[in-house]
Amino acid sequence: MTPARLRVTPRSSRCSFHEQKGLFAERTATNSRRWFLRSSVLGALADSTAGRLFAQPPAGDQFGRLFTPSTRQAIKDGLAYLASQQNQDSSFGTGSYSHNVAVGGLCGMAFLANGSTPGRGRYGRHLRRCVDFILQNCQPSGLIAHGESASRGPMYGHGFATLFLAEVYGMPPISGLRNKLAKAVELIVNTQNSAGGWRYEPRRNEADISVTVCQVMALRAARNAGLHVPNETIDRAIDYIKRCQNSDGGFMYLATRTGESDFPRSAAAIVAMYSAGIYTGDEIDHGLAYLMQHPPKLNEMGQTNYFFYGHYYAVQAMWHAGGKHWRTWYPAIRDVLLAQQQDDGSWRAMINPEYGTAMACLVLQMPSNYLPIFQR
């Protein structure tokens, strides 16, 4: 695969992925320059101040109000917990999900969101080991999966792992990363089914909205990194996602049948559409209205198995929406997460605490705006 040749075009209020081709090229260059500038400054800051990466946060009163000292401390404790749980083979935690590449990729993204890069910053060493772990589990077929956990919806793991590799691509250059990332992207493109989506296995047979969104995000990150992603692949995926939307603004699980709306997958669907260049329109407006009917609640974490998954996407949706959506949502989810953090710095989740902690840290660090995939 070769890098896409992209032309620069201005952003419009509503445009297809074809029209977004130039926008992604412009963002790729801008994000790369911004990332390397930030990482250089933050790396030096980490070396000189024992890793106080938030010593100079982005300017603005709103940032100070939202990103409180207690929030920074919670993030610091959460990331320290993750670092302490990295195993000798660079995976995370114990139990049946310890070698899951999605968990490894999410932990790596949590370190990235703090301003570290592979080999630089407070978590540079841990982050480089995250990259090594993912690369070691890249199969000849392009699938990223560890043998012990490949049976648990491998396309979920593949999507998050591909997203992570795309985020670290080029900073600094890592031997073998580009070829393995390109093969991972090629596998996603080649396993899209006739309806436009993906499901658990890397085969063209079924699709659901959750796995489909996961692949869309990986492809968006890959295109941002300069890899070729066919326009028709994204167009067909977004068409599948749109066909999952119900009249109440929420999204059902499968586009092939009638189903009820649910908050986690609805949040994911909205983020996928934003990522494909759909910024306004009925789908976005109705989807945001549906999400706003399900604000974060203090007792919610123990009542659903998809709490972290849902809020990982919901905070991204509100960040892209901006305005009152963001100003209302972030303080609410921030306060819920701060109240649920354990004494050891972790957040408990059904999969494992490393997964929950990585997701919580990603949500809380959204205002820092360091990850290219999260940037508006």
Coil, helix or strand at residue 189: helix
Cβ atoms of residues 14 and 280 within 8 Å: yes
Q: What is the CATH number of the domain that holds 369?
A: 1.50.10.20
Q: Which parts of the chain register pLDDT below 70?
A: 1-64, 148-152, 302-304
Instruction: Let me know if residue 327 belongs to a domain.
Output: yes
pLDDT at 52: 29
Contacts 24+ apart (CB under 8 A), 217-220: 217/159, 217/163, 217/271, 217/272, 217/275, 217/373, 218/158, 218/159, 218/160, 218/162, 218/163, 218/166, 218/184, 218/185, 218/188, 219/185, 219/188, 219/189, 220/24, 220/275, 220/276, 220/373
The amino acid that residue 344 corresponds to is: D
Q: Which helix (H) or strand (E) holds 307?
A: helix 307-321
Contact call for residues 207 and 200 (beta carbons, < 8 A): no
Q: Which residues contact 198 (CB under 8 A, 6 or more apart)?
A: 155, 188, 191, 192, 207, 211, 212, 214, 215
Tally of CA atoms within 13 A in the half-sphere of 371 that contains its CB: 27
For residue 29, give every residue at least 6 positions away whose Cβ sits within 8 Å of its Cβ, in sequence order, or none.
Answer: none
- Answer whether residue 3 is part of any domain: no
Report yes or no on 172 lying in a domain.
Answer: yes
User: Minimal CA–CA distance to 223: which of 35, 27, 38?
Assistant: 27
Domain tally for the chain?
A: 1
Query: What is the spatial distance between Cα 356 and Cα 344, in angstroms, rounded to a whole number?
Result: 13
Q: How far apart are CA 345 and CA 74, in angstroms?
A: 7
Place of tokens 């890397």: 202
Burial of residue 101, with CB atoms counted within 10 A of its CB: 0-12 exposed, 13-18 middle, 19 or more buried = buried
Per the domain annotation, does 346 fall within a domain?
yes
Domain presence at residue 11: no
Question: What pLDDT, on the 0 to 100 scale, is given for residue 26?
Answer: 41
**pLDDT score, position 344:** 98
Q: How far apart are CA 237 and CA 202, in angstroms?
A: 15
Structure tokens at 94: 């114990």
| Sequence-separated (6 or more) residues with CB below 8 Å from residue 118 | 124, 127, 128, 131, 168, 171, 172, 174
Q: Which structural domain range is residue 320 located in?
A: 20-48+77-374
- What pLDDT score was predicted for residue 29? 39
Residue 231 placed within a domain: yes
